[in-house]
């Protein structure tokens, strides 16, 4: 019997071994996942083949990005099926076609901005687009900033600094927008999602989250009201590693940040289907199925200190929505 997660309208069946990889291939860490208009699934990972493409049944289609990307971190696919690939190891965002042709690069490859300078980029993490096509970049490990660009890549403004107050960040890890132009930022180590208007003015924040890492904005069936899916990393310190009900898990919240459902996480990290190690990137297809990318190799020593790491280690799960 398949493992089931969630409750009410948000119930999911775990599809084991969904991705059918070529012999000898593995994902290593999956930094991000994206789904295009044809329900093709793009898996942005830190293995030898950075971008792997599958159909919705998990059959392998192609790969690209070899020799281009250093460390896969974020992926956003726009309505025209352009992919915005955020590479925190190369300090760049590359806009690509579905076959991997780079049509625009933000940032200077291999040349980070000074640490915590507020200038783009120092280990940028993710992207989102405004309704007008403006590009937001969360910048992330070596900055505490969000940058806003024109659609053709001209910097308009930046905001943010380190701290715990409104508009301050402690690891800007992910970013999404909704149809009304609100900007939602996963402020990971402050355990919150902050909400801004399109010009960076603080509006509110959501709590009741533990190290929000993945972030996805979806509209419910028959409505334009957004629903948000949050991947939470769970405990990251020895002092609370054995605590329950902290994740790693997925949470579903409404547009006010009110919790709707939680998927997994009660018993902490695990290898069993439906348990998580490090949910890092999320995407949802046209049928409501969730693709969860995990940076399992990176987080194994934290989640399972002193335990030998299995190879290959699962870095991707598909959760099929049960209607």
pLDDT in tens, 40-59: 999 999 999 999 999 999 99
Q: Are 195 and 216 in contact (CB under 8 A)?
A: no
What sign does the CA torsion over 63, 68, 72, 76 have? negative
Q: Per-residue pLDDT averaged across 96-116, rounded?
A: 98
| pLDDT per position as a tens digit, 192-208 | 999 999 999 999 999 99
Q: Does domain 4-321 have CATH number 2.120.10.30?
A: yes
Place of tokens 């009410």: 8
* pLDDT confidence of residue 323: 78
| pLDDT per position as a tens digit, 26-40 | 999 999 999 999 999
* pLDDT confidence of residue 151: 98
Q: Per-residue pLDDT averaged across 201-229, rounded?
A: 88
Q: Per-residue pLDDT averaged across 259-286, rounded?
A: 95
Place of tokens 């990176």: 298
Name all contacts of 302-308 with Cβ < 8 Å and 24+ positions apart: 302/236, 302/241, 303/234, 303/241, 303/248, 303/268, 303/269, 303/277, 303/278, 304/269, 305/238, 305/241
Q: Are 201 and 194 in contact (CB under 8 A)?
A: no
- Show me where the domains of the chain are located: 4-321
**The overall pTM is greater than 0.95:** yes
Mean pLDDT of all residues belonging to the chain: 95
* pLDDT confidence of residue 222: 46
Q: How far apart are CA 196 and CA 180, in angstroms?
A: 11
Provide the 10 A C-beta neighbour count for residue 275. 20
């Amino acid at each position: 019997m398949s493992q089931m997660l969630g409750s009410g309208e948000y119930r999911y069946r775990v599809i084991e071994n969904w991705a059918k990889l070529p012999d000898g291939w593995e994902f290593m860490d999956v930094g991000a996942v994206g789904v295009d208009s044809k329900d093709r699934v793009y898996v942005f990972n830190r293995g030898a083949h950075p971008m792997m493409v599958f159909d919705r049944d998990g059959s392998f289609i192609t790969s690209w990005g070899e020799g281009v990307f250093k460390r896969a971190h974020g992926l956003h696919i726009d309505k025209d099926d352009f992919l915005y690939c955020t590479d925190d190891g190369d300090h760049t965002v590359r806009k690509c076609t579905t076959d991997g042709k780079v049509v625009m690069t933000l940032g200077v490859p291999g040349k980070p901005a000074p640490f915590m300078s507020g200038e783009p980029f120092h280990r940028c993490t993710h992207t989102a687009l405004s309704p007008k096509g403006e590009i937001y970049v969360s910048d992330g490990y070596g900055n505490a900033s969000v940058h806003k660009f024109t659609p053709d890549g001209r910097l308009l403004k930046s905001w943010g600094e380190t701290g715990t107050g409104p508009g301050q960040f402690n690891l800007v890890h992910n970013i999404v927008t909704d149809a009304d132009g609100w900007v939602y930022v996963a402020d990971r180590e402050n355990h919150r999602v902050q909400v801004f208007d399109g010009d960076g003015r603080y509006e509110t924040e959501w709590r009741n989250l533990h190290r929000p890492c993945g972030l996805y904005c979806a509209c419910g069936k028959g409505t334009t009201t957004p629903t948000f899916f949050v991947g939470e990393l769970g405990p990251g310190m020895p002092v609370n590693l054995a605590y329950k009900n902290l994740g790693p898990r997925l949470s579903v919240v409404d547009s006010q940040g009110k919790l709707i459902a939680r998927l997994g996480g009660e018993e902490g990290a695990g290898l069993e289907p439906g348990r998580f190690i490090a949910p890092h990137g999320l995407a949802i297809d046209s049928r409501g199925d969730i693709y969860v990318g995990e940076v399992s190799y990176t987080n194994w020593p934290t989640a399972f200190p002193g335990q030998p790491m299995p190879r290959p280690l699962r870095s991707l799960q598909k959760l099929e929505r049960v209607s």
